[in-house]
Amino acid sequence: MYSAFELYAGGKLIGSRGHLPPNASPDWDRDLVVRVPPEAVSTDGSLVLALRVWGGPEAVTSRWGGGVYGDTLWLGDYFTLASEDFKTALAPMFMAALFLLSALFSFYVYSRSASLLSYLWFALLSSALALYCYSLSDLRFMVPLDFVTYEKIEYASVCFVAPLLVRTVWSILDVELTAFMRALTIACAGLGAALAVVPGLEINFGAIDIFRVFAAVLVYQYLQTIYGAWRAGDDKAFIFIVGSLVFITTSVHDLFVTLLFDVAPGKMLSMYGFFSLVVCMAVLLSRQYAAVLDNLGELVNERTQQLRDANSRLARHAREDALTQLLNRRGFQESAEQIIANVQAQGSTLSLILCDVDHFKRINDRYGHAVGDRVLQHLARHLGLNIRDVDILGRWGGEEFILVLPDLSLSGAQTLAQRLCDSLPSQIFRIDGIRLGLTMTFGVAQWRQGDTLESLIARADVALYEGKTRGRCQVVSERPNVAQGALS
């Protein structure tokens, strides 16, 4: 009852809520279960109960009147009434705990990724709902705050719930707030802040009609938005529609029925409506989080593939000559040593050709290094087009090229080298109006049992040098006695 009372049985005070004047202190919306002492019952079995009531400040009596509201008094077994009272107080406390856990989890998720803004709004909404449900439970007085403070928490939290609900739903549906809705949510939050900081309860009673207008407009915009999203094919909106059925029913009950038909304000149902919406939001946010994880997995796979590709490019560049795109010295050595190991294991043979561009220094000195680079690129293409697929071609350094020819004897390698040598003088290389005749000198050697790549190249280099001293543009094979000497 409003706003404080004293209960007498048989003329004796047995319980009270708040304090009556002159030291008046309101304390309504809280059940009181007391024992009726046996001596309060008269000898004829009659029991006289009396209430002494303070209606409260003018703001209360002018708004709701004074005295009792709803079902005022129950007489029965003490333990039955006390347990029922505890169950009534436990329900909103349980809901407050659920909302608090939801808020803490959402804050944690948002702290892990600030891009998940929906979780921030959901966490703030759940926090406000936790405060609201906590303020509805008589168990709230386990924390020793005065009644006025708890009333302010209740009113202010409801005012904050409305705009936070809008921001959360709009964020989940990925809808931009209009200027009108942004102003309305700020005004509603400002009203909640005013209720929290302005002393006394008079502002609470005066602001209730303003909040009801704000809430009605926000609910209308909320329904219009989710309906528009549903019509646009957003499946998330349908889940909101389901949760909104409970939410709208309980909100109408609390905003209008309890205020117009003198139902006890302690019997608020909106916390269950909010809970239905929070469950819907939790489902949608979990789907959103799952989508984020899927996208993250795809991004990780994509980045992993990019890293593999980058590593492949690095490995290729480490083995490839940037100018000619042939194997460089390192790449050629790795490939050639692998082929030699296979030849040795299989008992087959291979040959090697080392060739050099004739008078290349003159080309660089006369026409510049850019023309010299073009010459090397042309010769790399020419050599590559005239060898087998199994042959290995690389740039050994400067103007030298090197070939490994698996399963090819010395005579076969000499025939190939001669064909390459003869094909060049008949070609005229043109670049930027310059006409160049190119020739190359070739040194040929065959692998022998016990050879290393270095010893094989050394014999080919000796043959190449001999070709240079003979006048260039020719093929020289290793001498048999040189090969035998290499064995010794």
Which helix (H) or strand (E) element contains residue 168? helix 147-173
Catalytic entry in 399, 400, 466, 478:
399
Number of alpha carbons in the 13 Å side-chain half-sphere of residue 98: 15
Contact 275, 101 (CB under 8 A): no
Helix-strand-coil split of the chain, %, nearest 5: 60, 15, 25
Active-site annotation holds for 400: no
| C-alpha to C-alpha distances, 182 to 163, 164, 179, 356, nearest whole angstrom | 9, 11, 5, 78
Angle at 108 between CA 107 and CA 114, to 5 degrees: 75
- CB neighbour list of residue 231: distance below 8 Å, 6 or more residues apart: none
* Beta strand spans in 22-127 (E): 49-54
Contact 286, 120 (CB under 8 A): no
CA atoms within 13 A on the CB side of 196: 16
Q: Are 267 and 258 in contact (CB under 8 A)?
A: yes
Is the separation of the CB atoms in 34 and 40 below 8 Å? no
Tokens 């050994």 appear where?
396
Peptide bond into 3 cis (omega under 30): yes
Residues 178, 224: Cα–Cα separation, whole Å? 13
Distance between CA atoms of 5 and 136, rounded to whole angstroms? 20
Q: What own/partner pairs with CB < 8 Å and gap ≥ 24 does 447-453 have?
A: 447/340, 447/343, 447/349, 447/350, 447/351, 447/352, 448/483, 448/486, 448/487, 449/344, 449/487, 450/487, 451/340, 451/486, 452/340, 453/333, 453/336, 453/337, 453/340
Q: What DSSP line would sit under 225-261, residue for residue?
A: HHHHHHHTT-HHHHHHHHHHHHHHHHHHIIIIIHHHT
Check: CB of residue 165 under 8 Å from CB of residue 155. no
User: For residue 294, what are its two tokens?
Assistant: 């899927």
Residues classed as catalytic: 399
